[in-house]
A and B are shown apart, each in its own frame.
Chain A
Amino acid sequence: MPVVSSPDYRFQLLQQWEGRVSNISDAEFTAVLRDLTDPSKPDEEATFSLEEIPEQDKGLVVTGAIFYWVIGYRMSASGQKTRSSDLRFRRLPVWTRAEIKRLAKRAEEFGEVLGIGRSASAAG
Protein backbone atom coordinates (compact mmCIF):
# COMPACT_ATOMS: atom_id res chain seq x y z
CA MET A 1 0.00 0.00 0.00
CA PRO A 2 1.41 3.45 -0.88
CA VAL A 3 2.07 5.63 2.14
CA VAL A 4 2.27 9.41 1.96
CA SER A 5 4.01 11.19 4.84
CA SER A 6 3.79 14.75 6.10
CA PRO A 7 5.15 16.20 9.36
CA ASP A 8 1.72 15.81 11.00
CA TYR A 9 0.44 12.53 9.65
CA ARG A 10 1.03 9.60 7.36
CA PHE A 11 -1.53 8.62 4.75
CA GLN A 12 -1.98 5.03 3.66
CA LEU A 13 -3.76 4.91 0.32
CA LEU A 14 -6.31 2.09 -0.01
CA GLN A 15 -8.20 3.03 -3.12
CA GLN A 16 -8.27 5.74 -5.77
CA TRP A 17 -10.64 6.47 -8.65
CA GLU A 18 -10.89 9.02 -11.41
CA GLY A 19 -14.49 10.16 -11.79
CA ARG A 20 -16.23 11.89 -14.68
CA VAL A 21 -19.46 13.71 -13.92
CA SER A 22 -22.25 12.42 -16.12
CA ASN A 23 -25.28 14.04 -14.54
CA ILE A 24 -26.10 16.75 -12.01
CA SER A 25 -29.34 17.45 -10.19
CA ASP A 26 -30.13 19.98 -7.47
CA ALA A 27 -28.56 18.08 -4.62
CA GLU A 28 -26.68 15.19 -6.22
CA PHE A 29 -24.33 14.31 -9.00
CA THR A 30 -23.64 11.03 -10.75
CA ALA A 31 -20.28 10.01 -12.13
CA VAL A 32 -18.59 7.15 -13.91
CA LEU A 33 -15.65 5.94 -11.82
CA ARG A 34 -12.49 4.49 -13.31
CA ASP A 35 -10.41 2.45 -10.90
CA LEU A 36 -6.87 3.84 -10.74
CA THR A 37 -5.75 1.36 -8.09
CA ASP A 38 -6.71 -1.72 -10.09
CA PRO A 39 -7.30 -0.71 -13.72
CA SER A 40 -8.47 -4.23 -14.56
CA LYS A 41 -11.66 -3.57 -12.59
CA PRO A 42 -14.60 -2.40 -14.73
CA ASP A 43 -15.98 1.13 -14.54
CA GLU A 44 -18.86 1.70 -12.19
CA GLU A 45 -21.33 4.48 -11.62
CA ALA A 46 -21.91 6.24 -8.30
CA THR A 47 -24.16 9.03 -7.09
CA PHE A 48 -22.95 11.51 -4.46
CA SER A 49 -24.53 14.29 -2.50
CA LEU A 50 -23.21 17.72 -3.42
CA GLU A 51 -22.73 18.17 0.32
CA GLU A 52 -19.64 15.97 0.00
CA ILE A 53 -17.96 18.72 -2.02
CA PRO A 54 -16.18 21.60 -0.29
CA GLU A 55 -17.96 24.91 -0.88
CA GLN A 56 -15.05 26.37 -2.88
CA ASP A 57 -15.12 23.40 -5.27
CA LYS A 58 -18.87 23.35 -5.96
CA GLY A 59 -18.48 25.58 -9.03
CA LEU A 60 -16.26 22.90 -10.54
CA VAL A 61 -19.05 20.32 -10.54
CA VAL A 62 -20.22 20.47 -14.14
CA THR A 63 -21.05 17.73 -16.62
CA GLY A 64 -17.81 16.28 -17.92
CA ALA A 65 -15.75 17.53 -14.96
CA ILE A 66 -13.04 15.25 -13.64
CA PHE A 67 -12.43 14.48 -9.96
CA TYR A 68 -10.44 12.09 -7.85
CA TRP A 69 -11.83 10.01 -5.02
CA VAL A 70 -9.25 8.77 -2.56
CA ILE A 71 -9.90 6.42 0.37
CA GLY A 72 -7.24 5.57 2.90
CA TYR A 73 -6.05 5.76 6.50
CA ARG A 74 -4.63 8.88 8.08
CA MET A 75 -2.25 8.10 10.91
CA SER A 76 -1.39 10.96 13.18
CA ALA A 77 1.95 11.41 14.91
CA SER A 78 0.28 10.34 18.14
CA GLY A 79 -0.67 7.02 16.53
CA GLN A 80 -4.36 7.70 15.94
CA LYS A 81 -5.67 5.95 12.82
CA THR A 82 -8.68 7.39 10.97
CA ARG A 83 -10.36 6.15 7.82
CA SER A 84 -10.69 9.01 5.36
CA SER A 85 -12.43 9.78 2.08
CA ASP A 86 -11.52 12.72 -0.08
CA LEU A 87 -13.45 13.81 -3.20
CA ARG A 88 -11.40 16.43 -4.97
CA PHE A 89 -12.31 18.11 -8.23
CA ARG A 90 -9.54 18.79 -10.66
CA ARG A 91 -9.12 22.40 -11.68
CA LEU A 92 -9.06 21.62 -15.35
CA PRO A 93 -6.57 23.29 -17.62
CA VAL A 94 -8.17 25.59 -20.15
CA TRP A 95 -7.94 25.70 -23.91
CA THR A 96 -5.33 28.26 -24.84
CA ARG A 97 -5.31 30.30 -28.02
CA ALA A 98 -2.23 28.39 -29.21
CA GLU A 99 -3.93 25.03 -28.60
CA ILE A 100 -7.05 26.12 -30.44
CA LYS A 101 -4.88 27.18 -33.36
CA ARG A 102 -3.19 23.77 -33.28
CA LEU A 103 -6.60 22.05 -33.37
CA ALA A 104 -7.60 24.12 -36.39
CA LYS A 105 -4.30 23.33 -38.11
CA ARG A 106 -4.66 19.61 -37.50
CA ALA A 107 -8.26 19.73 -38.73
CA GLU A 108 -7.07 21.52 -41.85
CA GLU A 109 -4.55 18.76 -42.53
CA PHE A 110 -7.27 16.11 -42.16
CA GLY A 111 -9.61 18.20 -44.29
CA GLU A 112 -7.12 18.49 -47.12
CA VAL A 113 -6.54 14.74 -47.20
CA LEU A 114 -10.24 13.93 -46.91
CA GLY A 115 -11.25 16.64 -49.36
CA ILE A 116 -13.31 18.60 -46.88
CA GLY A 117 -11.66 21.95 -47.51
CA ARG A 118 -10.25 24.47 -45.18
CA SER A 119 -10.92 24.15 -41.47
CA ALA A 120 -12.82 26.68 -39.42
CA SER A 121 -11.21 28.25 -36.43
CA ALA A 122 -12.51 26.95 -33.18
CA ALA A 123 -15.12 29.21 -31.64
CA GLY A 124 -14.05 32.12 -29.51
Chain B
Amino acid sequence: VQAPRADEFEISIFGPGRGECIVAHLGGGDWVIVDSCIDRESGRPAAIRYLSDIAVDIAHSVKLFIVTHWHDDHMRGASKVLEEAEAALFVCSDALRSKEFLTLASCGSGTTPSYGVKEFYAILETLKSRLLVREAGPNWALHDKRIFQRHGLGTVPLAEVWSLSPSSAGVTLAKKEIAELLPPELAPKTAIHQSANDVAVALLVQVGAMAAVLGSDLQADTGPNRGWQAVLASPNRPQVKARVLKVPHHGSKNADHPGVWQQMLEPSPFALLTPFSSGISPLPTETDRQRLLGRTPNLFCTARATSWAPPRRSQAVERTMKEVAIKRRGISGPMGQVTLRCNLDDPTNTISVRLFGTAVHLEAA
Protein backbone atom coordinates (compact mmCIF):
# COMPACT_ATOMS: atom_id res chain seq x y z
CA VAL B 1 0.00 0.00 0.00
CA GLN B 2 1.26 3.44 -0.91
CA ALA B 3 0.77 6.37 1.46
CA PRO B 4 -1.98 8.73 0.28
CA ARG B 5 -0.95 11.81 -1.65
CA ALA B 6 -1.08 15.24 -0.01
CA ASP B 7 -4.36 15.94 -1.83
CA GLU B 8 -6.03 12.70 -0.75
CA PHE B 9 -8.25 12.07 2.26
CA GLU B 10 -7.99 8.60 3.74
CA ILE B 11 -9.65 6.85 6.62
CA SER B 12 -8.81 3.32 7.80
CA ILE B 13 -10.48 1.28 10.48
CA PHE B 14 -8.71 -1.66 12.11
CA GLY B 15 -10.29 -4.45 14.11
CA PRO B 16 -8.82 -7.68 15.46
CA GLY B 17 -12.14 -9.05 16.76
CA ARG B 18 -12.04 -7.32 20.09
CA GLY B 19 -10.61 -3.85 19.69
CA GLU B 20 -10.77 -0.89 17.41
CA CYS B 21 -8.55 1.81 15.95
CA ILE B 22 -9.05 4.49 13.30
CA VAL B 23 -6.31 6.24 11.35
CA ALA B 24 -7.17 9.21 9.14
CA HIS B 25 -5.15 11.31 6.71
CA LEU B 26 -6.44 14.88 6.63
CA GLY B 27 -4.47 15.73 3.51
CA GLY B 28 -1.20 17.64 3.51
CA GLY B 29 0.59 14.81 5.34
CA ASP B 30 -1.35 15.41 8.57
CA TRP B 31 -2.64 12.32 10.38
CA VAL B 32 -5.07 11.61 13.21
CA ILE B 33 -5.25 8.42 15.27
CA VAL B 34 -8.40 7.53 17.20
CA ASP B 35 -8.19 4.76 19.84
CA SER B 36 -5.85 1.80 19.71
CA CYS B 37 -5.82 -1.97 19.32
CA ILE B 38 -3.03 -4.48 18.91
CA ASP B 39 -2.09 -6.23 15.70
CA ARG B 40 -1.58 -9.81 16.88
CA GLU B 41 0.87 -10.72 14.13
CA SER B 42 3.40 -7.99 14.91
CA GLY B 43 2.47 -7.37 18.55
CA ARG B 44 2.39 -3.63 17.76
CA PRO B 45 -0.45 -1.13 17.90
CA ALA B 46 -2.34 -1.37 14.60
CA ALA B 47 -1.92 2.36 13.89
CA ILE B 48 1.84 2.24 14.41
CA ARG B 49 2.21 -0.81 12.22
CA TYR B 50 0.15 0.70 9.40
CA LEU B 51 1.83 4.10 9.42
CA SER B 52 5.29 2.47 9.59
CA ASP B 53 4.40 0.21 6.67
CA ILE B 54 3.52 3.19 4.49
CA ALA B 55 6.60 5.13 5.69
CA VAL B 56 4.80 7.94 7.53
CA ASP B 57 6.97 9.92 9.95
CA ILE B 58 4.88 9.07 13.01
CA ALA B 59 6.77 11.33 15.39
CA HIS B 60 5.95 14.48 13.42
CA SER B 61 3.04 13.75 11.09
CA VAL B 62 0.49 12.52 13.63
CA LYS B 63 -1.14 15.75 14.81
CA LEU B 64 -3.84 14.32 17.04
CA PHE B 65 -4.20 11.18 19.10
CA ILE B 66 -7.68 10.79 20.55
CA VAL B 67 -8.67 8.19 23.10
CA THR B 68 -12.46 8.24 22.97
CA HIS B 69 -12.99 6.38 26.27
CA TRP B 70 -11.06 4.12 28.60
CA HIS B 71 -12.58 0.73 27.84
CA ASP B 72 -10.03 -2.04 27.28
CA ASP B 73 -11.05 -2.68 23.68
CA HIS B 74 -10.23 0.91 22.65
CA MET B 75 -7.07 1.28 24.71
CA ARG B 76 -4.66 -1.58 23.97
CA GLY B 77 -1.33 -0.13 22.96
CA ALA B 78 -2.55 3.46 23.41
CA SER B 79 0.40 4.46 25.59
CA LYS B 80 2.80 3.17 22.92
CA VAL B 81 0.98 5.20 20.27
CA LEU B 82 1.34 8.38 22.32
CA GLU B 83 5.00 7.63 22.98
CA GLU B 84 5.71 7.33 19.24
CA ALA B 85 3.49 10.20 18.14
CA GLU B 86 5.74 12.77 19.78
CA ALA B 87 4.18 15.85 18.24
CA ALA B 88 0.57 14.74 18.63
CA LEU B 89 -1.89 16.62 20.77
CA PHE B 90 -3.49 14.08 23.11
CA VAL B 91 -7.26 14.33 23.41
CA CYS B 92 -9.54 12.51 25.83
CA SER B 93 -12.98 12.97 27.30
CA ASP B 94 -13.64 15.92 29.59
CA ALA B 95 -15.37 13.41 31.85
CA LEU B 96 -11.90 12.13 32.77
CA ARG B 97 -10.73 15.57 33.89
CA SER B 98 -11.21 14.86 37.58
CA LYS B 99 -9.11 14.15 40.60
CA GLU B 100 -11.12 10.95 41.02
CA PHE B 101 -10.19 9.62 37.59
CA LEU B 102 -6.53 10.45 38.17
CA THR B 103 -6.73 8.44 41.40
CA LEU B 104 -8.40 5.56 39.60
CA ALA B 105 -5.82 5.67 36.79
CA SER B 106 -3.07 5.57 39.42
CA CYS B 107 -4.22 2.00 40.18
CA GLY B 108 -2.50 1.24 36.88
CA SER B 109 0.88 1.65 38.55
CA GLY B 110 0.35 -1.71 40.25
CA THR B 111 -0.71 -5.13 39.11
CA THR B 112 -4.31 -4.40 38.13
CA PRO B 113 -5.58 -6.70 35.39
CA SER B 114 -7.45 -3.75 33.80
CA TYR B 115 -5.76 -2.85 30.50
CA GLY B 116 -7.61 0.43 30.14
CA VAL B 117 -6.40 1.62 33.54
CA LYS B 118 -2.84 0.44 32.93
CA GLU B 119 -2.70 2.17 29.57
CA PHE B 120 -4.12 5.38 30.99
CA TYR B 121 -1.57 5.38 33.77
CA ALA B 122 1.24 5.03 31.22
CA ILE B 123 -0.31 7.86 29.16
CA LEU B 124 -0.40 10.12 32.22
CA GLU B 125 3.28 9.39 32.83
CA THR B 126 4.12 10.35 29.24
CA LEU B 127 2.02 13.52 29.45
CA LYS B 128 3.65 14.44 32.74
CA SER B 129 7.16 14.11 31.33
CA ARG B 130 6.19 16.06 28.19
CA LEU B 131 4.57 18.80 30.22
CA LEU B 132 7.71 19.21 32.26
CA VAL B 133 9.67 20.10 29.11
CA ARG B 134 7.03 21.78 26.92
CA GLU B 135 3.37 22.73 26.74
CA ALA B 136 1.93 19.36 25.76
CA GLY B 137 -1.01 18.77 28.03
CA PRO B 138 -4.17 17.03 26.95
CA ASN B 139 -7.08 18.67 25.22
CA TRP B 140 -10.32 17.73 26.98
CA ALA B 141 -13.04 16.82 24.53
CA LEU B 142 -16.55 18.10 25.16
CA HIS B 143 -19.65 18.59 23.02
CA ASP B 144 -19.46 21.16 20.20
CA LYS B 145 -15.75 21.78 20.60
CA ARG B 146 -13.29 22.26 17.77
CA ILE B 147 -10.22 20.36 18.87
CA PHE B 148 -8.11 20.75 15.73
CA GLN B 149 -7.91 23.12 12.82
CA ARG B 150 -5.52 23.30 9.88
CA HIS B 151 -5.88 26.14 7.44
CA GLY B 152 -6.09 25.30 3.77
CA LEU B 153 -3.14 25.92 1.48
CA GLY B 154 -3.06 25.26 -2.29
CA THR B 155 -4.74 21.93 -3.04
CA VAL B 156 -4.90 21.05 0.67
CA PRO B 157 -8.20 22.31 2.08
CA LEU B 158 -9.20 23.45 5.55
CA ALA B 159 -9.35 20.56 8.01
CA GLU B 160 -11.19 20.53 11.31
CA VAL B 161 -11.87 17.93 13.97
CA TRP B 162 -14.79 18.53 16.35
CA SER B 163 -15.76 16.60 19.43
CA LEU B 164 -19.54 16.14 19.51
CA SER B 165 -19.69 14.55 22.95
CA PRO B 166 -19.74 14.01 25.91
CA SER B 167 -22.58 16.31 26.85
CA SER B 168 -22.44 18.32 30.08
CA ALA B 169 -24.97 15.95 31.66
CA GLY B 170 -22.90 12.95 30.50
CA VAL B 171 -19.78 14.44 32.08
CA THR B 172 -21.55 15.04 35.38
CA LEU B 173 -22.89 11.51 35.54
CA ALA B 174 -19.64 9.91 34.42
CA LYS B 175 -17.65 11.81 37.06
CA LYS B 176 -20.03 10.55 39.72
CA GLU B 177 -19.71 6.98 38.44
CA ILE B 178 -15.93 7.20 38.33
CA ALA B 179 -15.83 8.42 41.93
CA GLU B 180 -17.85 5.36 42.91
CA LEU B 181 -15.26 3.09 41.29
CA LEU B 182 -12.46 4.21 43.61
CA PRO B 183 -11.37 1.24 45.71
CA PRO B 184 -12.26 1.50 49.37
CA GLU B 185 -9.80 0.34 51.99
CA LEU B 186 -9.67 -3.46 52.34
CA ALA B 187 -11.48 -4.03 49.02
CA PRO B 188 -9.95 -6.87 47.01
CA LYS B 189 -7.85 -5.87 44.02
CA THR B 190 -10.18 -7.08 41.32
CA ALA B 191 -10.26 -5.71 37.79
CA ILE B 192 -11.80 -2.26 37.73
CA HIS B 193 -15.34 -2.28 36.44
CA GLN B 194 -15.76 -0.06 33.40
CA SER B 195 -19.03 1.76 33.40
CA ALA B 196 -21.29 2.79 30.53
CA ASN B 197 -20.32 4.85 27.54
CA ASP B 198 -21.37 8.32 28.72
CA VAL B 199 -17.79 9.54 28.56
CA ALA B 200 -17.27 8.45 24.94
CA VAL B 201 -16.06 11.10 22.53
CA ALA B 202 -17.88 11.10 19.19
CA LEU B 203 -16.07 13.10 16.52
CA LEU B 204 -16.69 14.97 13.32
CA VAL B 205 -13.72 15.06 10.95
CA GLN B 206 -14.08 17.57 8.15
CA VAL B 207 -11.61 18.08 5.31
CA GLY B 208 -12.88 20.37 2.58
CA ALA B 209 -16.18 18.93 1.39
CA MET B 210 -15.47 15.51 2.91
CA ALA B 211 -16.80 14.75 6.38
CA ALA B 212 -16.83 11.69 8.62
CA VAL B 213 -18.67 11.05 11.87
CA LEU B 214 -16.73 8.74 14.16
CA GLY B 215 -19.24 7.35 16.64
CA SER B 216 -16.94 5.77 19.25
CA ASP B 217 -19.16 3.72 21.60
CA LEU B 218 -21.57 6.59 22.25
CA GLN B 219 -25.00 5.26 23.11
CA ALA B 220 -28.45 6.44 22.06
CA ASP B 221 -30.45 5.01 24.94
CA THR B 222 -29.18 7.17 27.77
CA GLY B 223 -31.78 9.91 28.06
CA PRO B 224 -32.38 13.23 26.31
CA ASN B 225 -29.39 15.12 27.71
CA ARG B 226 -26.79 12.51 27.01
CA GLY B 227 -25.40 10.35 24.22
CA TRP B 228 -26.66 10.75 20.65
CA GLN B 229 -29.84 12.48 21.77
CA ALA B 230 -27.78 15.34 23.15
CA VAL B 231 -25.61 15.46 20.00
CA LEU B 232 -28.68 15.67 17.77
CA ALA B 233 -30.31 18.32 19.92
CA SER B 234 -27.29 20.60 19.92
CA PRO B 235 -27.62 23.71 17.71
CA ASN B 236 -23.90 24.39 18.06
CA ARG B 237 -22.36 21.43 16.28
CA PRO B 238 -21.30 21.93 12.63
CA GLN B 239 -24.39 21.35 10.53
CA VAL B 240 -22.76 19.27 7.81
CA LYS B 241 -23.82 15.94 6.40
CA ALA B 242 -21.06 13.36 6.46
CA ARG B 243 -20.36 10.71 3.83
CA VAL B 244 -18.64 8.36 6.27
CA LEU B 245 -19.78 6.93 9.61
CA LYS B 246 -17.77 4.86 12.04
CA VAL B 247 -20.76 2.93 13.35
CA PRO B 248 -20.99 3.46 17.12
CA HIS B 249 -20.58 0.66 19.64
CA HIS B 250 -19.92 -2.17 17.20
CA GLY B 251 -23.34 -1.86 15.60
CA SER B 252 -25.27 -2.35 18.83
CA LYS B 253 -28.91 -1.31 18.82
CA ASN B 254 -28.29 0.73 21.97
CA ALA B 255 -26.06 3.12 19.99
CA ASP B 256 -28.16 3.43 16.84
CA HIS B 257 -30.29 6.56 16.58
CA PRO B 258 -32.27 7.09 13.35
CA GLY B 259 -31.72 10.83 13.72
CA VAL B 260 -27.99 10.37 13.19
CA TRP B 261 -28.66 8.85 9.75
CA GLN B 262 -31.26 11.44 8.85
CA GLN B 263 -29.66 14.61 10.18
CA MET B 264 -25.93 13.99 10.23
CA LEU B 265 -25.27 11.76 7.23
CA GLU B 266 -25.73 11.86 3.48
CA PRO B 267 -27.96 9.15 2.02
CA SER B 268 -26.27 5.71 1.76
CA PRO B 269 -23.13 6.73 3.61
CA PHE B 270 -20.04 4.56 3.87
CA ALA B 271 -20.48 2.88 7.25
CA LEU B 272 -17.46 1.26 8.91
CA LEU B 273 -17.83 -1.26 11.67
CA THR B 274 -15.71 -3.42 13.99
CA PRO B 275 -17.04 -6.47 15.82
CA PHE B 276 -16.86 -6.97 19.57
CA SER B 277 -16.34 -10.66 20.06
CA SER B 278 -16.35 -10.91 23.84
CA GLY B 279 -19.21 -11.06 26.33
CA ILE B 280 -22.60 -12.71 26.41
CA SER B 281 -23.82 -11.10 23.18
CA PRO B 282 -21.04 -10.49 20.68
CA LEU B 283 -21.67 -7.54 18.38
CA PRO B 284 -22.95 -6.96 15.81
CA THR B 285 -25.76 -9.49 16.03
CA GLU B 286 -27.49 -10.67 12.85
CA THR B 287 -30.36 -8.31 13.73
CA ASP B 288 -27.88 -5.44 14.02
CA ARG B 289 -26.42 -6.29 10.62
CA GLN B 290 -29.83 -6.35 8.98
CA ARG B 291 -30.85 -3.07 10.63
CA LEU B 292 -27.65 -1.37 9.46
CA LEU B 293 -28.05 -2.78 5.96
CA GLY B 294 -31.51 -1.22 5.93
CA ARG B 295 -29.79 2.13 6.49
CA THR B 296 -27.01 1.80 3.90
CA PRO B 297 -25.80 -0.69 1.32
CA ASN B 298 -22.23 0.57 1.87
CA LEU B 299 -21.59 -1.31 5.11
CA PHE B 300 -18.06 -2.58 5.72
CA CYS B 301 -16.83 -4.57 8.69
CA THR B 302 -13.30 -5.54 9.71
CA ALA B 303 -14.49 -9.16 10.10
CA ARG B 304 -17.57 -11.17 9.27
CA ALA B 305 -17.15 -13.38 12.33
CA THR B 306 -17.74 -12.44 15.95
CA SER B 307 -15.95 -15.50 17.28
CA TRP B 308 -13.13 -17.69 16.15
CA ALA B 309 -12.08 -21.26 16.87
CA PRO B 310 -10.05 -21.26 20.06
CA PRO B 311 -6.36 -22.11 19.65
CA ARG B 312 -5.64 -25.86 19.44
CA ARG B 313 -3.66 -27.58 22.15
CA SER B 314 -2.44 -31.12 22.84
CA GLN B 315 -5.03 -33.90 22.78
CA ALA B 316 -4.91 -34.42 26.54
CA VAL B 317 -5.45 -30.70 27.17
CA GLU B 318 -8.23 -30.45 24.58
CA ARG B 319 -9.99 -33.46 26.09
CA THR B 320 -9.86 -31.98 29.57
CA MET B 321 -11.04 -28.58 28.38
CA LYS B 322 -14.06 -30.21 26.73
CA GLU B 323 -14.88 -32.01 29.97
CA VAL B 324 -14.56 -28.94 32.21
CA ALA B 325 -15.64 -25.91 30.17
CA ILE B 326 -19.26 -25.63 29.06
CA LYS B 327 -18.20 -23.65 26.00
CA ARG B 328 -15.12 -21.97 24.58
CA ARG B 329 -14.41 -19.51 21.82
CA GLY B 330 -11.59 -17.46 20.44
CA ILE B 331 -12.19 -13.75 20.96
CA SER B 332 -9.56 -12.31 18.71
CA GLY B 333 -8.77 -13.09 15.15
CA PRO B 334 -6.46 -11.80 12.48
CA MET B 335 -6.55 -8.06 11.80
CA GLY B 336 -9.09 -6.69 9.35
CA GLN B 337 -8.73 -3.26 7.78
CA VAL B 338 -11.11 -1.16 5.72
CA THR B 339 -9.57 1.83 3.95
CA LEU B 340 -11.50 4.58 2.18
CA ARG B 341 -9.78 7.16 0.02
CA CYS B 342 -10.86 10.12 -2.01
CA ASN B 343 -9.18 12.86 -3.94
CA LEU B 344 -9.84 16.19 -2.23
CA ASP B 345 -9.70 17.94 -5.63
CA ASP B 346 -12.48 15.78 -7.02
CA PRO B 347 -15.75 17.76 -6.86
CA THR B 348 -17.72 14.49 -6.78
CA ASN B 349 -15.62 13.17 -3.86
CA THR B 350 -15.61 9.66 -5.34
CA ILE B 351 -14.59 7.22 -2.65
CA SER B 352 -12.54 4.09 -3.30
CA VAL B 353 -12.71 1.20 -0.86
CA ARG B 354 -9.95 -1.32 -0.11
CA LEU B 355 -10.34 -4.31 2.19
CA PHE B 356 -7.47 -6.10 3.90
CA GLY B 357 -7.24 -9.25 6.00
CA THR B 358 -10.61 -10.37 7.31
CA ALA B 359 -12.50 -7.20 6.29
CA VAL B 360 -15.73 -7.65 4.32
CA HIS B 361 -18.43 -5.73 2.53
CA LEU B 362 -21.59 -6.80 4.32
CA GLU B 363 -24.46 -7.28 1.94
CA ALA B 364 -28.12 -8.05 2.37
CA ALA B 365 -28.86 -11.78 2.29
A-side residues, CB < 8 A to B, are: 14-15, 20, 22-23, 28, 30, 32, 35, 41-49, 52, 62-66, 69, 71, 73, 83, 85, 87, 92-97, 99-100, 102-104, 106-111, 113-120, 122-124
Contact = CB atoms under 8 A, between A and B. Distances in A.
B317 interface: yes
A111 B331 contact: no
A10 B192 CA distance: 38
B352 interface: no
B60 interface: no
B188 A94 contact: yes
Contacts of A23: 279-280
Contact of A100 (B185, B191, B324): B185
B317 A95 contact: no
A68 B97 CA distance: 36
B323 interface: yes
Pick from B188, B278, B319 the residue with the most CB of A within 10 Å.
Answer: B188
A122 B182 contact: yes
B313 interface: yes
Given A45-B278, A85-B323, A103-B106, A92 B99 contact: no
Contacts of A103: 103, 106-107
Contacts of B328: 44-47
Interface stretch (B125-133, B289-297, B340-348): B125-133
B120 to A, nearest CB: 10
Contacts of B190: 62-66, 92
Interface residues of B, number: 57
Contacts of B329: 44-45
Contact of B102 (A20, A85, A119): A119
B316 A64 contact: no
Nearest to B277: A45
A2 B131 CA distance: 48
B103 A64 contact: no
A95 to B, nearest CB: 5
Q: Looking at chain A's contact residues, is the secondary structure mostly helix, strand, loop, or mixed?
A: mixed
B128 A109 contact: yes
Contact of B189 (A45, A92, A123): A92
A30 B187 CA distance: 22
Interface in B53-107: 97-100, 102-103, 105-107
Contacts of B152: none
Contacts of B187: 94-95, 124
B235 interface: no
A123 B183 contact: yes
B324 A122 contact: no
A15 B313 contact: yes
Contacts of A124: 182-187
Given A45-B329, A62-B190, A123 B127 contact: no
A65 B188 CA distance: 9
A102 to B, nearest CB: 8
A48 B97 contact: no
Contact of A113 (B99, B113, B131, B193): B131
Given A44-B331, A113-B127, A124-B182, 7 more contacts: A42-B331, A71-B321, A104-B103, A108-B99, A110-B128, A116-B98, A124-B184
A52 B103 contact: no
B100 A120 contact: yes
Contacts of B327: 46-47
A15 B311 CA distance: 13
Contact of B179 (A48, A64, A95, A120): A120
